[in-house]
Every structure is written in C-alpha cells, then in structure tokens.
Amino acid sequence: MKVYLDNAATTPLAPEVMQEMFAVMQDKFGNPSSIHSYGREVRAMIEQSRKTIAGLFNVTPGEIIFTSGATEANNMVLRCSVRDLGVKHIISSPIEHHAVEHTLHEMENEGQVNVHWLNVDRHGCIDLNELEKLLAANENVLVSLMHANNEIGTLHPINEIGNLCRKHNAIFHSDTVQTVAHYKLNLKEIPVDFITCSAHKFHGPKGIGFLYTNNRLHLKPMITGGSQERNMRGGTENVYGIAGMTKALQLAYQQLEKEQGQISALRSYMINRLKKDFPDVEFNTDIHNESLYTVLNVSFPACDFAEMFLFNLDIQGIAASGGSACSSGSSTGSHVLNAIGADASRPAVRFSFSRYNTIEEVDYVMEKLKEMYAVKA
C-alpha cells in the first residue's frame, strides 16, 4: 500500500484541475501581451481568473498579482515594503517559513531593516502583549506573521494581530499558504494588507501563486522587464498555472465545509489511535486548542532508529515529513521544532492530510508504526 501523508509539502493535482489545464494547453497558446485574437483570448482568460479569485476573497481584481508561488510573493512584500513604503522595523516570529525567515535574516544582515523576533511558546503561539509593546515602541513597522504554521499547524490569531496593526498604524503581512483553500478568508473583514498563496498546496499546479496587496498600499515591481500584471511583475504569465490554480481554488471553496469535516475527523482518528497505541507520544501540534486541521506533528518515543524513522516509513510506502516542505525527507534541523523547544531525542514526524486520504490509510500507518517499535525498539 502507498500512503501519501505529506500534503503540507505539496498535494497531488486534482483530476478536474488537470482537465482544465489540458484544455487551456490545447486551445490557448497565444501570448497574453499580443494584440491579435490569440493573445486577446488568453488575456481575457487571465483577467477572468483574476476576477474569480478576487471574488473568492472578497477583494477587487486589481489587488491580486499572479506570481511564481509564495516564496516570490513573500519576498516581494518584505523587500518592496522596505524599499517602497519606508518600513524600518519588521516584527515576525521564529516559526515563519524559510521564505520569510531566511529573507528577513538576509535583510537584517545587510542592514536594510531592524527585525524583532517575537517569543513563542511550546506550541508556537505568540504573546499579543509582547506584539503590542513592540508596536507601541516603534514607527514605520511591518508585521509579518503567518496564518498557519506548515510544520506544526499553529494558527496565529490574524484578526487580533490585524486589529493591533491598524491601532498602531503598522502594515500587516500574513503568509497564508497553509490556510488559503482550507479556510474561508474574507479579506473585507480581516484587517490584513498582504497575503500570499501557493497553488500546489491545494491540488493545483506547482510554480504558481498570488500576492494579495491591499489597494491602499502601492508597491513597485520586484521583477522588472515587462508591463505584465498591471506593471507589478514583468514576465510572460504562467497561463496554464493560472487556469489550474483558479480551478483548484473554486473546487476547494465549493466543498470547503465537507472537506474540513472529513479531514478534521481523519486527523482526530489518528490522534486517538496514537494516544492508544503510543501512550508516551508527544504532540507538537496543539491538539487541545484550534490548530490547522490538515497537520499533525508528533514526537514519538525516543528510539535507536530515530535517524532512520522517515526512511523506514518510506520503505513501507508511507510518505511523511520531519520538517517543513523545503527540508522534506530530513528529520534534522527544523528551526520550528527548535523554536518551540521540542525534545530533540524524540523523532518528530509531520503527517499532513488532504481530501484524498482515508481511514484505511491511517490504519495502515498505525500498523506499520507499531511494527517499527515492536521490531526495532
């Protein structure tokens, strides 16, 4: 049996998305910047996609910029805010994805901006009082806090954070890669200035995402050399990617509640089986409070095969991860697990679920985990 439980790293393409992309590949090859009918047809498709996506988030089409994914979109917010909006201080957390964390370290080292790293607790939660004190003490601030953490599933309270930012006149950026298509995000109600999205996290294609940029703020392009994306990003558009991402988002939001219920139930089932079969297990995900329902990060009992843990699962056909997407396949060096003080002697595994996972798959994983401990311990 093959079981894919690494959906926070990437997801399989939905068949409906594949079909949509095939249709566009077959019929629409024009360059959207061309003025003839081939180009105009593709331009119209891109603008319709932008409109559809804007509608799903209750924003205007002009606030959606297509990018190569979330790494680019996060870079654009951080680098261009300092360059174009006079940002002098960035407040962030040590559990951000490398797309934010590494970028901030680089900008800090180059002396472009002061970065203030918030403290986090055992489950990655920040202290809003600490955030407010920093907001009160500094001017020209951008706050960059992800909505949900990709390794342990911590949900930062984006409404409260956004309200504090508005109160102190700070800009608010949230990396929403793990929550777009998994939660309803009405951006008319959430006080946020920038969010980022990556289609391959919700059964869309790789290499496409978007940046939502609130139209009260005006960034200049990070990638120059063309007037695409309303002068916000040079380069011929990823037409097939845009079509696939739009379809994937529509699908996800059509069946959001059903999927939320189904995936949450699957995760609860696994939590209960783990508690029963491994009484000594520790959950790095906060299972007692609301957390991202697609992610379950577990520290298993210490054992002499910790280094080989993911490899052993892989031999049994089970794909899981020991760190973030970028360090998939490795169980060492997670900056997130370090930040929350997870017990390093225990092998930590992230299981992450999608609409395509089943109870039978979880049963299979539990059997193989028990066998691993019975044979090797």
Q: Which of 70, 295, 319, 336 binds ligand PLP (CB under 6 A)?
A: 70
The dihedral built from the CA positions of residue 252, 257, 262 and 266, taken in this order, carries a sign that is positive
β-pair type (114-117, 89-92)? parallel
Q: Which two tokens stand for residue 99?
A: 């797309």
What mask of x and - would describe binding to ligand PLP in positions 127 to 166, judged by CB under 6 A?
Answer: -------------------x---x----------------
Q: Which of 249, 313, 325, 369 binds ligand PLP (CB under 6 A)?
A: 325
Q: Which residues, numbered 79-138, are part of the site for ligand PLP (CB under 6 A)?
A: 97, 99
Stretch that binds ligand PLP, among 54-62, 67-75, 240-248, 312-320 (CB under 6 A): 67-75
Phi, psi of 329 (to 5 degrees): 90, -5
Q: Which is nearer to ligand PLP, 116 or 206 (CB)?
A: 206
Nearest C-alpha neighbor of 68 from the set 176, 173, 200, 184:
200
Q: Name the closest residue to ligand PLP (Cβ).
A: 69
Stretch that binds ligand PLP, among 21-29, 68-76, 283-291, 355-363 (CB under 6 A): 68-76
Nearest C-alpha neighbor of 264 from the set 162, 201, 142, 357:
357
Q: Which of 6, 20, 101, 175 binds ligand PLP (CB under 6 A)?
A: 175
Q: Which is nearer to ligand PLP, 325 or 369 (CB)?
A: 325
Q: Where are the beta strands (DSSP E) in the chain?
A: 3-4, 64-67, 89-92, 114-117, 141-144, 171-175, 194-198, 209-213, 282-283, 295-299, 318-319, 348-352
Which residues 6+ apart lie within 8 Å of 79 measured at CB? 103, 107, 222
Stretch that binds ligand PLP, among 37-45, 171-179, 210-218, 262-270 (CB under 6 A): 171-179
Q: How many residues bind ligand PLP (CB under 6 A)?
A: 13
Give the DSSP per-residue string, 222-273: SS-SS-HHHHTS-S---HHHHHHHHHHHHHHHHTHHHHHHHHHHHHHHHHHH
Q: Which is nearer to ligand PLP, 11 or 198 (CB)?
A: 198
Stretch that binds ligand PLP, among 66-74, 108-116, 332-340, 342-350 (CB under 6 A): 66-74
Nearest C-alpha neighbor of 131 from the set 103, 168, 78:
168
Q: Which of 11, 49, 50, 69 binds ligand PLP (CB under 6 A)?
A: 69
Q: Which is nearer to ligand PLP, 42 or 73 (CB)?
A: 73
Q: Which is nearer to ligand PLP, 98 or 368 (CB)?
A: 98
What mask of x and - would describe binding to ligand PLP in positions 177 to 216, judged by CB under 6 A?
Answer: xx-------------------x----------x-------
Q: Which residues, numbered 266-295, are part of the site for ligand PLP (CB under 6 A)?
A: none
Residue 303 annotated as catalytic: no
Residue 71 found at the interface with ligand PLP (CB under 6 A): yes
Amino acid (1-letter code) at residue 354: S
Give the 3-state secondary structure of 34-57.
Answer: CCCHHHHHHHHHHHHHHHHHHHHH
Catalytic residues: 326
